Chain A
Amino acid sequence: MSRFLLHSCASALCVLFASLPLSQALAHCFVGARFFPATLVTDDPCVADEMSLPTVSWSKSGDVPPATEWDIEGEISKRITEDFGIAIGEGWSQIRQPGAPTLAGFADLETTFQYQLLKDPSHETAMLLGLIVDWGNTGATNAGIGTPYSVLTPTYYFGQGFGPLPDELSWARPFAVTGQVGYQIPTDSYDVAQGFYIPQVVVYGASLQYSMPYLKSEVKDLQLADFINHLIFITEAQLSTPVANNFGNSYETTGTINPGAIWVGSYFQVGLEAMIPVNRASGTGVGFVAQLHLYLDDMFPNTFGQPLIGGSPSKAPL
């Protein structure tokens, strides 16, 4: 996509935001009694009106000696209809390699188109289909942070709460899992400037969550401190494995395991996770990722917090 077309699309979205009548306000990722928080390195299984700004991470690469990398990212998600949404994300990175010039610049602009396949409140199940597009030539290509080619990643997302478990296992009902699996398809197969094949990669991840808000409101109110009652303990994993067009390179899986916690408020959440590389190729030592995430549907229920088009009447008798 040319820069002109990219800017035209952004301008068109601007006009849509400003001019279309807004119909109703519904939830971010509520599925029955279950609330799936926005996860930090994977995605939750719902279309929503929300914004992550910023997501900050620090890590060391697996090189010898290792390079130190800072990433600062932002993403805004907007429902177009009740079940279809678009997210726009951007990131800035700085990479310091001992004995080499520091590299810095914007990553490629990322857009995600998402369709809500299923929300089953009684079973606390959610499913989502998405297409992630990293637009080539929109980032710092010369610094190696952006790429001269685009990457398409069709992705499936799911979320499952453990709320339907029987009473004998009530202690486990605050648990939930989410996950996603996608297939990265570059628009070029060979990078002429760098002289290497551009692999197709399976990218996948999951989270295991234990929700203290769910414990308090659905299972047992232990009358813990208010701060603790707003925490969701979480461990995320993000992994990627080259599977095709990777001639002469390693097919080794790389990624991180991220234990941490998310504090959930009425209008925003704050998350902090350690990033533990799964192997040497994934990094050196323990990094971290932190995120401030805003619930736009709660902050702006009459504007951003509503789908742009359609939606069912929200004030149905209960």
Chain B
Amino acid sequence: MQARIIVLSLLLAAAGTSAARAHAFLDHASPLVGSTVATAPHEVALTFTQSLEAAFSSVQVTDAKGARVDLGKAQISGNTMRVGIKAAGPGRYQVHWHALSVDTHKTEGNFSFTVGGQ
């Protein structure tokens, strides 16, 4: 019984010691994940469930041949990450992102979108 009390006491003690933050999940994207858009977007915008560490979060956009079509460094503000896209023709594009939330939890993901109904 003493061991049980010790474990519960530790949990209660920890509860008051730290602000709660969490992993940054991708909440939504523009263009939408898996969507088909009629015209090429000028940028890809990702919105996360938590604020991001700008220096340690990134996004890349590649075409069907694996060549990068993004304009380089992403703009990160709060929980949103944006990156511009070069003039892109019809085809399938892949978005690869890494995120570090402000409490240093890492997440990553990939998704695609299609331009021009292919």
Contact = CB atoms under 8 A, between A and B. Distances in A.
Given A7-B2, A218-B111, A266 B105 contact: no
Interface in B5-35: 6-7, 9-11, 14-15, 17-18, 20-23, 25-26, 28-29, 32-35
Contact of B34 (A11, A220, A315): A220
Given A298-B21, A298-B23, A315-B100, A219 B108 contact: no
Nearest to B4: A90
A298 B10 contact: no
A216 B108 CA distance: 14
Interface stretch (A234-242, A270-278, A301-309): A301-309
B66 to A, nearest CB: 14
A220 B110 CA distance: 11
B104 A266 contact: no
B22 A221 contact: no
A314 interface: yes
A245 interface: no
Contact of B2 (A10, A167, A266): A10
A126 B68 CA distance: 30
Contacts of B9: 14
B35 A221 contact: yes
A252 B58 CA distance: 54
Contact of A11 (B6, B50, B57): B6
Interface in B63-100: 98, 100
Candidate in A217, A297, A317 with the most chain B CB atoms within 10 angstroms: A217
A266 B108 CA distance: 16
B39 interface: no
Interface string B46-60: 000110010111100
Contact of A33 (B50, B58, B108): B108
Nearest to B9: A14
Interface residues of A, number: 49
Interface string A1-26: 00000110111011001000000111
A90 B110 CA distance: 40
B43 to A, nearest CB: 17
B100 A27 contact: no
Interface string A146-173: 0000000000000000000001001000
A218 B32 CA distance: 10
Interface in A278-318: 295-305, 314-318
Nearest to A266: B22
A217 B110 CA distance: 8
Given A315-B53, A318-B98, A297 B105 contact: yes
B105 A221 contact: no
A318 B7 CA distance: 37
A250 interface: no
A232 interface: no
A302 B17 CA distance: 8
Interface in A218-250: 218-221, 223
Contacts of A298: 20-23, 103, 105
Given A221-B35, A317-B56, 18 more contacts: A10-B6, A14-B6, A17-B14, A24-B104, A25-B104, A27-B106, A30-B106, A33-B108, A88-B3, A218-B109, A219-B111, A220-B33, A295-B22, A301-B21, A301-B104, A303-B14, A303-B18, A315-B56
Interface of B: 2-4, 6-7, 9-11, 14-15, 17-18, 20-23, 25-26, 28-29, 32-35, 49-50, 53, 55-58, 98, 100, 103-112
21 contacts: A7-B3, A10-B3, A14-B9, A26-B105, A26-B106, A27-B107, A30-B107, A33-B109, A109-B4, A216-B33, A217-B111, A221-B29, A266-B22, A266-B23, A266-B25, A267-B20, A300-B17, A301-B21, A303-B14, A304-B14, A315-B104
